[in-house]
Structure formats: C-alpha cells, structure tokens
Amino acid sequence: SRGLGLTITKRLIEKMGGDISLLSKPYERTAFSITLKRMTY
C-alpha cells in the first residue's frame, strides 16, 4: 500500500507545480525530496 500512497503524493505535488524525487540504496534508508513553487498573492 505504500506504493499507492507515493503515487497519490506525486500526483498532488505535480498538480501544485512541484516535483518529488527520491534517493535510495539497497538495505539503507530512502530520502525523499519535495520542491514546491512559491505562491505569491
């Protein structure tokens, strides 16, 4: 079920004009990076 959560998260971030990436090595932790555009009013 984690795969589905990541898919939903990716789609939401992309709809907001952002990007998500990850760095993973076997048998180690996975690091996620999220970049969002700054909103101006």
pLDDT at 2: 59
pLDDT at 20: 93
pLDDT at 4: 83
Q: Which residues on adjacent β-strands are paired with residue 35? A: 19
pLDDT single digits (tens) 1-41: 556 888 899 999 999 999 999 899 889 988 999 999 887 87
- Element holding 23 (H helix, E strand): strand 19-24
pLDDT at 21: 93
pLDDT at 3: 66
pLDDT at 11: 94
**What distance in Å separates the CA atoms of residue 15 and residue 2, rounded to the nearest whole number?**
20
User: Is 22:32 a contact under the CB 8 Å cutoff?
Assistant: yes
SS3 (DSSP) at 14: helix
